[in-house]
Structures are given as C-alpha cells and as structure tokens.
Amino acid sequence: MPDMDAKRPWEASRRGLANQLAEIDGLLPGSVVVRRMRCGKPTCACRDDPPSLHGPYIQWTRTLGGKTVTRYLSEDQLARYQPWFDNARRLKEIAAKIEIASLHALEQSESPGNPPGTPTPSVPRHRPPLRDP
C-alpha cells in the first residue's frame, strides 16, 4: 500500500468502496416475498389437514409513482434477477459506508472552528482588467 494511503486510511477505503460500486451492473427496486396460499374452494387440497397449499407464488412489490405495484415472477425469473435485488441492498450499504468514509475524510482534512460557509482558499479569481474611462 502506498504511503499516502497509510496516512489517509479513509481515502483508501472510499476508493475501495467506489470500486465496489462499479461492479453493480443492474438493480431492481422493491422487495420479493414467496407465498403459499389457500384458495376459495372448500373441497380443495389446500383445506386438508395438513394442507397442500398452492404456490409458491413469488410476489415482487415496489412503489411506482406513489402506488404499490405487484408483479408475479416465476422461479426461473427470480433466479435470474435475484442478483439485481441483492445489488439494491448492496448499493445502500456501500453508499452508507462511503458517507462515513467521506465524513471522516472531511474531519481529518478540514480544521475545526471555521464558521459554516467559510470559503476554502482556492485559486484566486481573475477579474477582467478595468478599462480607463
């Protein structure tokens, strides 16, 4: 590990997390629930004891424009898209870690005590030369 990273561990960690973000090539919102259900027929096997329930039904629920949208997935579809559902959770975890690393980086490199809004010294601004009247 280069010396600079050893002195600034939060910087290295932030870069490592950013690399993990690059691995996320797909994501799907919402949650997946697998259900087995009873139907309405009184003589159906799902009413037996022990019951033979219908399903599994794979319900994918998400919010779209403020409304809850449910869609059923086949087991094959779930197998195909499971990594994208996992990625959505992973993205949140990585984002939270990047936030922590960034906060630490800020605390390490900025001196405390400056009132909020104090501009960081930077390259001086070039004003257009004033013309004599």
What is the contact surface with Zn ion in residues (CB under 5 A)? 39, 44, 46
In the complex with Zn ion, the residue whose CB is nearer, 29 or 55, is 55
Alpha-carbon distance 19 to 98, whole Å? 11
Nearest CB to Zn ion, comparing residues 27 and 46: 46
Write down the least CB distance from residue 81 to Zn ion, Å. Answer: 28
Which is nearer to Zn ion, 28 or 46 (by Cβ)?
46
Sequence-ordered strand ranges (E) for 9-100: 31-37, 54-64, 67-73
Q: Which two tokens stand for residue 97?
A: 């870690």
CB of 42 to Zn ion, least distance (A): 9
Q: With the CA atoms of 74, 79, 85 and 87 taken in that order, what torsion angle do they form, in degrees rounded to the nearest 10?
A: -160
Query: Is residue 10 within 8 Å of residue 108, measured between CB atoms?
Result: yes
Q: How far is the CB of 72 from Zn ion (least distance, A)?
A: 17
